[in-house]
């Protein structure tokens, strides 16, 4: 087996996290166009739509990158997740994402925490990624 390259399997945790990042990214993009998601409402400006779409795309791309199991892709995924978090904070600070209801406040806080957990998880599983 010395001549054969050992195939490394993708850990289930990374697969699940990647799929969730992709799903959450798609939902974020959809929300940026619909301006509503499970009782959460957003600004209906073009600026929010564009910003929300970019932030959601970062999330989605981060999920796709982690599926590759390459270290440089994992690093880029972490950077995109941090950009997602900073983007969410910027939306709140600029008023494009209103936090005038409990649903909106919980939505942005929980969503941001989840993105942070994904970034930490990818970093924690760093050794699982290949060169």
pLDDT digits (tens, 9 = 90+) for 20-65: 999 999 998 988 887 666 556 666 678 888 998 999 999 999 999 9
Residue 5 domain-assigned?
Answer: no
Residue 52 lies in a domain: yes
Residues 56 and 29: beta-carbon distance below 8 Å: yes
- Helices assigned H by DSSP within 46-98: 46-67, 71-93
Structure pTM? 0.86
Flag whether 60 is in a domain.
yes
**102-114 pLDDT per residue, tens:** 888 888 899 999 9
Domain extent at residue 44: 12-126
Distance of CA 43 to the CA centre of its chain: 20
Within-domain flag for 6 = no
Any domain includes 20? yes
Residues 6+ apart with CB under 8 A from 37: 27, 30, 31, 107
What is the pLDDT confidence band of residue 101, given thresholds at 50, 70 and 90?
Answer: confident
User: How many domains is the chain built from?
Assistant: 1
Q: How far apart are the first and last CA of the chain?
A: 21
């Amino acid at each position: 087996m010395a001549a054969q390259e050992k195939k490394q399997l993708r850990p289930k945790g990374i697969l699940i996290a990647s799929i969730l990042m992709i799903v959450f990214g798609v939902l974020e993009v959809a929300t940026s166009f619909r301006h509503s998601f499970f009782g959460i409402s957003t600004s209906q400006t073009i600026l929010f739509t564009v910003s929300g779409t970019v932030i959601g795309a970062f999330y989605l791309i981060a999920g796709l990158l982690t599926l590759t199991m390459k270290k440089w892709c994992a690093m880029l995924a972490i950077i995109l997740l941090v950009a997602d978090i900073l983007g969410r904070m910027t939306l709140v600070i600029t008023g494009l994402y209103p936090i005038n209801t409990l649903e909106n406040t919980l939505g942005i806080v929980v969503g941001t925490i989840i993105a942070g957990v994904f970034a930490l998880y990818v970093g924690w599983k760093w050794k699982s990624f290949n060169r």
